[in-house]
A and B are shown apart, each in its own frame.
Chain A
Amino acid sequence: MGLLRLLTRIWDAITSFTRPPNPATLFRRADLYRQGGRFEEAAELVAQGLRLAPNNGVGHLLSAYLHLAFRQIGPAKSEFQAVLALDPYHPRALLGLAKIALEERDLASCRPFLDKALQIYPDFPEAKALQDMVSSWTVTSPVSGQRLIQAGPPIQAEKLKPPAGGREFVLTQADGTLVFSQQGDKDAEDLAGHVTQVYRIASATLKRAGLGALRRGIVQAATETTFFRSNDRLILALSFPQDVKVGFGLLETDKLWTNSLRELGVRA
């Protein structure tokens, strides 16, 4: 009997090397790779697992995460939807779709996903953080041209002239309303939308870290550096070529900020 058991074990050990792993094992290994930032290997294992088990929710969820990690939003969305087709209340799939809706600035779609996830799992920290953030946002379509935050004479554009090298100057309200822009209508709307969204998310992030309200920001890219200045109501963004000295950019942004507040008759 003992010998038989030993032979069985040896046989199992030998065949485990040649037997293809089952989907559960593949997904478990994929998740470990993913957690270590080894996305390519994880994706390979997930694809292998989904070929064996096309209706596996774990596999589709991992696939969605990996698409997101590779910044492939369309396929990620489809995979989250595949998870929800199998389990309509899957909190992670709901959160994933909420995040994608947020990226697409589709607040009307984002909120129900978060609400549904939290309805079933009220202690879902990531979903709660995003819900806290979006709950105060109003849906505003920025209108091109000038819109004053208070009644008064129209802004005199020449008084809000950006410094030499400065470009894409935009002034918006915290709710997304475009107050003033240097650019053409369509570009200004897109820019104001982005500036507002960055302000909102950065504000929530700073608040979550217990650091207070957003005052300044600097975003550096390969071709330009953008400076942000804000208080609780207004946001100013101004870009310079990438090689701008940060000190100069900060100084010029501050000057424009002071002028903007003066023009609008608002205190800092």
Chain B
Amino acid sequence: MSAEPAATRPAAVRAREFRRILAEMLKIDRVRGGLVVAADGLVITSSLPRTVAVEPFAALTATLGRELEVGADRLKRTPFQTALFSADDGTVFLGSSPVGFVVVLGDREVNVGLVQWALRKALATLEGTWGQPGRIPASPEAS
């Protein structure tokens, strides 16, 4: 971690920050890929298995993220922070941030708690990059 407060970092650092955040997520055991996608569906950075086409997957994850945001608003709930959806062969994790959505793909053996913790940490970093430092949980157990 840099000693410099995230909020004071120049905006040019953002692109690098997205790549770094994604790279951190990809280090987690059983994580197969991930991406950062803006709310309009623009892929900011991605690393997905060859079998998953980036643009269609990004379009769907952005749509899912927006439904979670819009639905919460419609139901007068607080905005969603993280979400996960599991199937027989794996899990899709989604985190909401000012830039859009951080998406992580895990296989069926992925450590769900660990990914959720790492995702929250990534989101807090992203919020910091946007000028609102987020609260980072100290450990997966604390989250």
Contacts and interface: CB of A to CB of B under 8 A. Distances in A.
B50 to A, nearest CB: 11
Interface residues of A, number: 55
**Interface SS of chain B:** mixed
A36 B44 contact: yes
16 contacts: A37-B44, A38-B14, A65-B38, A99-B66, A130-B59, A190-B74, A201-B63, A209-B52, A210-B52, A210-B89, A211-B92, A213-B87, A214-B85, A217-B83, A221-B81, A224-B78
Contacts of A220: 80-83
B63 to A, nearest CB: 5
A220 B57 CA distance: 22
A30 to B, nearest CB: 13
Nearest to B70: A103
Contact of B78 (A125, A214, A223): A223
Interface residues of B, number: 54
Given A220-B80, A223-B78, A209 B69 contact: no
Interface of A: 34-41, 64-66, 68-69, 71, 76, 96, 99, 102-103, 125-126, 128-130, 133, 187, 190-191, 194, 197-198, 201-202, 204-206, 208-224, 228, 246
A219 B67 contact: no
A194 B75 contact: yes
Interface in B2-21: 11-12, 14-15, 18
A201 B44 contact: no
B105 interface: yes
A246 B117 CA distance: 13
Contacts of A35: 15, 42, 44
A197 B69 CA distance: 12
A27 to B, nearest CB: 15
Contact of A211 (B39, B44, B87): B87
A194 B58 CA distance: 21
B69 A71 contact: yes
Contacts of A39: 38, 99
Nearest to B86: A216
Contact of A126 (B15, B59, B99): B59
